[in-house]
Amino acid sequence: MAHAHLDDVKQYLLDLQDRLCQALADEDGEAGFREDAWDRPEGGGGRSRVIENGAVFEKGGVNFSHVHGETLPPSATAARPELAGRSFHAVGVSWVMHPHNPHVPTSHGNVRFFIAEKAGEAPVWWFGGGYDLTPFYPVEEDVIHWHRVARNACLPFGEDVYARYKAWCDEYFYLKHRNETRGVGGLFFDDLNEWDFSECFAFQRAVGDSFLDAYLPIVKRRRHDDYGQHERAFQAYRRGRYVEFNLVWDRGTLFGLQSGGRTESILMSMPPVAEWHYGWTPEPGSREEVLYRDYLRPRDWLNDAERSAP
């Protein structure tokens, strides 16, 4: 049964990778994704797809991987020590898009599935994933649209699901050493096995399938906005926060490195250009200050919008 589940999820994820790459390349209009298939000596492999120097996307990637081994790495058992020592299969798709234009947000997402096995015991399985948005010059209508799509994806699974996974995203994508969120959030879930397999798998598909509906309308609205060197410099500075989060806090990065994954694919999420400046603060009254003041903290975007509507 476990491997039947694994095959079903794997086929969905391979198809999702294809659909994401096609839609994102179509939106870019100039560059396409190149594929790099790889094998993992300890078991498994994947196919990494990267787009660079396009009309919209300076760098992006959509990666599929299926890795397996005799022992789960520490990052996978930190919250569930009872699984230590089990063999495992981990299959997932992850993506990160870094646009040229600072008015187009960076975005990240992933969906994944684990099975941990031990002789004589039933397999333990769970799903995880989500997506989040990292704007540099945010527009409130874009953020509201993003969260509305996320909420609609969650609604068939319960009235409270969006609120729970939105709050988990705010908590997870938080840079404790900076006392700020990475962006404006979205959805994050992990260790999902509270429903039966079919419903958990349906929820993963709802999240994966809704990403393009959440992201592409924002790209279309902002890709032609004017910008100059000032905005590009701020984008590079804020991309530094992206690097800090991925290297210091991200569980997926740790899992990939600890499981002997392919380093080039794991670090595909890094932006092409990032900067750090000592003691930098935004100018009072600037658009950069608006980001820090109004957006880099958890907010109830949808309820706030409904309360302020005429």
Q: Please give the Cα distance from 50 to 71 (Å, whole number).
A: 30
Tell whether residue 147 is among the known ligand binding residues: yes
Question: Which among 16, 55, 44 has a CA at the least distance from the CA of 205?
Answer: 16
Tell whether residue 261 is among the known ligand binding residues: yes
Tell whether residue 53 is among the known ligand binding residues: no
Mapping DSSP to helix (H, G, I), strand (E, B) and coil, where does residue 3 land? helix
From 5, 89, 103, 108, the catalytic residue: 108
Q: Are the beta carbons of 101 and 56 closer than 8 angstroms?
A: yes
Tell whether residue 100 is among the known ligand binding residues: no
- 93 φ, ψ to 5°? -125, 130
Tell whether residue 94 is among the known ligand binding residues: yes
Tell whether residue 111 is among the known ligand binding residues: yes
- 233 φ, ψ to 5°? -65, -40
Q: Is 108 a catalytic residue?
A: yes
Q: Are the beta carbons of 126 and 287 closer than 8 angstroms?
A: no
Tell whether residue 186 is among the known ligand binding residues: no
Residue recorded with tokens 């000592």? 278
Spatial neighbors of 106 by CB under 8 A, at least 6 apart, are: 96, 97, 98, 99, 133, 134, 135, 136, 183, 239, 242, 271
Question: Which among 60, 101, 11, 80 has a CA at the least distance from the CA of 211?
Answer: 60
- Helical spans, DSSP H, in 88-196: 140-154, 161-172
Tell whether residue 177 is among the known ligand binding residues: yes
Residues serving a catalytic function are 108
Give the residue numbers of the binding site. Answer: 94, 98, 108, 110-112, 147, 177, 260-262
Give the residue numbers of the binding site for substrate. Answer: 94, 110-112, 260-262
Give the residue numbers of the binding site for a divalent metal cation. Answer: 98, 108, 147, 177
